[in-house]
Structure 1
Amino acid sequence: MERVDVADGAEVSVAVLETGSGEGASYGAGVFDTASIVKVDVLAALLLRAQDAGRTLTAEERTYATAMIENSDNDATSALWRSIGTAEGLDAANERFGLTDTAGGDGPLWGLTQTTADDRIRLLRQVFVAEGSRLSEASRAYARELMGRIAAGQRWGVSAAADGSGWALKNGWLRRGTTGLWVINSIGRVTAGGHDYLVAALSRGSATREEGIALAEAAARAAVSVFTGGGPAGAQTSS
């Protein structure tokens, strides 16, 4: 990370896990606003509630889930946020998922859920790793499928660390009204060098959305290079 260009005033935290060995690494320990990466958390909580009730998702829930993950639709997210019991429901699910540093946003403000890069890796493990997951194989497969069909204009972020088309992700972006600065986050699974990696890159304080995307992508490349031995991440984007 020392060779990743971080603009003055910006902050970044990144974590990576190699799924085969279970070995990981992380940089930075700050708590960040999730913006839209919380949508994976909302989906996981929804799937867990359905499992508890011994049912599959309804047609309406599937419609909302598809819009929420693939297109990052906020109205669909708000509907499912209410369905899972807002922050209280999210926090209850996260406790079962083993997340220790995530707190749901107040009232309808799901995008202001607070989290850490390490907790995002714990969440991704629930989706991409069978061992220890509270989600069934069917639930995990459904979440992975949606994260692998992200709308074309949103295919940036941790996918920059993949060495081909092997990725599944969810991004988040939020321009804070008080400062005008950007929160840019990206989480997901990438394939590089024949191995699968879970990666979470969280950032805040970028002057532009493009600058924040470049930072998240650079952090993701640097994280995966810990295992692949590749060069450190540059600042170019790959959207």
Structure 2
Amino acid sequence: MQEQKPASQMARMKRQLCFFVTRTMLMSFLVLVGSMTLFPAGRTNAQGAQLTNSSSIMNAAVYDVTRGRYYTYNAKNWFVTGSSMKVPIMLTFLDMIERQGRAPSSYEMWLLTTMIENSNNDSASALYYGEIGGAVGVASYLHRIGTLDDGESADPPV
């Protein structure tokens, strides 16, 4: 007969699994978006050359949590996150409702879907300000999962 694990150990294992799945999904999403940015469908060779030769069109930064290192491309300045911020908004919201032990309502699901699939800024704002507590909520979630430093560094990664 197999021994059952204590509830606290099971809860910790569930959090670790959720963190792993979330991190994997986020990294897959960033790789997908990055590849679509680098190689969009229908881009002509002239446009591709312009993208390659321009220093201000694309920047990238990836943090390897295993090695504790940043890998950057053309990262001389701070980044404007733009629509990529919608991913942490979604993850923060999903973490919040999971901790509440509930599923998203149909309206919340509509907000999530339109925010991600249609890049709807109104839906993102509704979740960001109305549900997760704005920057404090996102920062709290990112800090809790270990992807946000303590804010002591004011320098962008090099």
TM-score normalized with structure 2 length: 0.52
Where do 1:21-60 residues align within 5 Å? 26-28=71-73, 29=75, 30-60=77-107
| Amino acid in structure 1 at the alignment position of 2:146 | G
Q: Deviations over 1:173-222 (max 9, x none)?
A: xxxxxxxxxxxxxxxxxxxxxxxxxxxxxxxxxxxxxxxxxxxxxxxxxx
Quick check: 2:62–2:71 contact (8 Å CA) kept in 1?
yes
Matched, 1:75 2:122: yes
Q: Higher strand share goes to which structure? A: 1
Question: Which structure 2 residues correspond to residues 73-112 of structure 1 after superposition, within 5 A?
Answer: 73-82=120-129, 83-100=131-148
Give the letter for the 2:84 counterpart: I
Compare relative contact order (CA 8 Å, sep 6+) and give the higher one, 1 or 2.
1
Counterparts of 1:99 and 1:47, CA distance in 2: 16
Gaps of 5+ in 1: 104-115, 118-239
Contact 1:45 1:90 in 2 (8 A): yes
**Residues 143, 149 of structure 2: 8 Å contact kept:** no
Query: Greater CA radius of gyration, 1 or 2?
Result: 2
Instruction: Verify the 8 A CA contact 2:88 2:138 in the aligned structure 1.
Output: yes
Q: Secondary structure of 1:100's partner?
A: coil
Comparing 94-103 with 61-70, greater Cα deviation is found at: 94-103
Distance in 2, Cα, partners of 1:62 & 1:13: 30
* Unaligned 5+ runs, structure 2: 1-50
Amino acid at match of 1:34: T
TM-score (norm 1): 0.35
Higher helix share: 2
**Seq. identity, %:** 29
**8 and 89 in structure 1: CA distance in 2 versus 1, 3 angstrom threshold:** closer
Give, in whole Å, the separation in 1 of the partners of 2:79 and 2:125. 20
CA RMSD of aligned residues (A): 3.3
Q: How many pairs were matched up?
A: 99
> 1:39-64 CA deviation, whole Å, 9 max, x = no partner?
01100000000011111111111000
Give the Cα separation in 2 of the matches to 1:64 and 1:90.
17
2:143 and 2:122 map into 1 onto residues whose CA distance is 26
